[in-house]
Amino acid sequence: MADFADKVVIVTGGALGMGRGACLAFAKQQAKVVAADINGEAAADLLEEIRATGEKVHAVITDVSRAEGARRVVQETVKVFGGVDILFNNVGIQPNSSYLDAEALPEEDWDRILAVNLKSYFLMAKYCIPEMKRRGGGVIINNASVQGLQSQKQVPAYAASKGGVISLTRNLALDYAEHHIRVLAVCPGSIDTPMLRDSAAFFAPNDPESAVQEWGRRHPLGRIGTPEDVANVVLFLASEKASFLTGEYVCVDGGLMAKGAWE
């Protein structure tokens, strides 16, 4: 794996799940890590774990779906570490209350999901790109989903947001290639995160572990993924080993998309 020493990395939704896994992985490679999250307690735990290893880390507790929050993350990153080299747009929500069809889904739920899952990616790119230009280039990696490629029932806002992430990835890649900024996406399948566990408790309140195991069996590799599985791919895409990759997505899904109609 590439050495990220002295690279400055921002991870949104960095305190838990896939974001936490990416923060730990980048820190292990000696990157300077900034975790942006609204969960102050989880962020404090992450800071303690990374600082115990002697690596450099900073947290910004804010809502990156709002312009002032996204701008503050970038401003604090530049103030603390001097610039931005890598952005992992990872934050995402899929509230249990949003498992509804389009007729039943409240407009405010649609707006909130699109704001967190898609608008925040635009905002973070908007404010990071000028700093990347000043450094002579950079990498943006967007966390999409297999649900941006296919879908299950009753997730109209989530599916729309993740499809939008993939299209935004392509557009940013074209617009900023001349500035040596590569833009890529990962499309995870079911990953063992607090959000997935929360969904399992919603769908199978008497035995959530059975739901997790069933979701794992749907993947050809026979299990759900881990945050480390996603982090390994993110670090590769952010490295010089992927220097001729841009505008593309990589499925980290245990073979799920190879099945076709996975749902």
Query: Domains in the chain and their CATH numbers?
Result: 8-189+228-249 (3.40.50.720), 194-224 (no CATH)
Q: What is the pTM of this model?
A: 0.97
Tens-of-pLDDT digits for all 263 residues of the chain?
Answer: 457 999 999 999 999 999 999 999 999 999 999 999 999 999 999 999 999 999 999 999 999 999 999 999 999 999 999 999 999 999 999 999 999 999 999 999 999 999 999 999 999 999 999 999 999 999 999 999 999 999 999 999 999 999 999 999 999 999 999 999 999 999 999 999 999 999 999 999 999 999 999 999 999 999 999 999 999 999 999 999 999 999 999 999 999 999 876 66
Nearest to 11 by CA among 2, 21, 1, 3: 21
**Which residue among the candidates 121, 127, 158, 176 is catalytic per the annotation?**
158
Token output for 183: 């833009």
The edge-to-edge listing of strands for the beta sheet with 86-89 is 57-61, 32-37, 8-12, 86-89, 138-143, 181-188, 249-252
- Residue 261: predicted pLDDT: 65
- Residue 255: predicted pLDDT: 96
H or E segment at 60? strand 57-61
158 in active site = yes
Q: How many residues does the chain have?
A: 263
**Local structure of 188: helix, strand or coil:** strand
User: What φ, ψ does residue 251 adopt, rounded to 5°?
Assistant: -80, 125
